[in-house]
Amino acid sequence: MLEILSYKGVEFPNWMSKQQLAHLESLVEVKLINLKRCVALSSLGQIRVLKKLEIAQGNRFEFCCRNNLQCIETTEIIGCQELRCLPQDVQNLEHLSKMTINGCNNLTTLVALHSLKVLNTYACPVIENWRSLQGEKFQLCISY
């Protein structure tokens, strides 16, 4: 597991470049905690076997799922106060089966996630379209 805590940069440091991350062939879990200024997470796409991604208290991230994040099965997004909607790229995560969203007070919109089996949301009071997701084939747990 790789855990990055309270990193203050806008972009990941050089040791997390696409070339360096491509060598982490056994890394299956990444936790990004308190990255208040970090915007771009696109280099995570180089970790080909990443199965779990947790983002906590990250305010401004742009989550790029287009490339190699196809192995992700579980995602947790916690306390991302400025997050208003999930990026459309999340729909490309073909193996994403469980997502937990907790304490994202401004999150209003969820995208259709066809591979999802379990969606847990806690303390996300303004999600507007969760009722439209009930037709999807997954377990939905909502708690305010």
H, E, C per residue of 7-32: CCCCCCCHHHCHHHHCCCCCCCEEEE
Q: Of the candidates 15, 50, 58, which has an alpha carbon nearest to the alpha carbon of residue 29?
A: 50
Of 8 and 42, the one with more pLDDT:
8
**What CATH number is attached to the domain comprising 137?**
3.80.10.10
Residue 76: the pLDDT is 94
What's the pLDDT score for residue 52? 94
Contact between residue 79 and residue 55 where contact means Cβ atoms under 8 Å apart: no
Q: Name the residue range of residue 99's domain.
A: 2-143
To the nearest whole number, what is the mean pLDDT of the chain?
77
Model pLDDT, residue 127: 78
Q: CA–CA separation, 23 vs 9, rounded Å? A: 23
| pLDDT tens column, 34-76 | 887 776 665 666 677 889 999 898 766 655 555 557 788 999 9
pLDDT of residue 60: 61
Report the domain count for the chain. Answer: 1
Tokens of 124: 């996300």
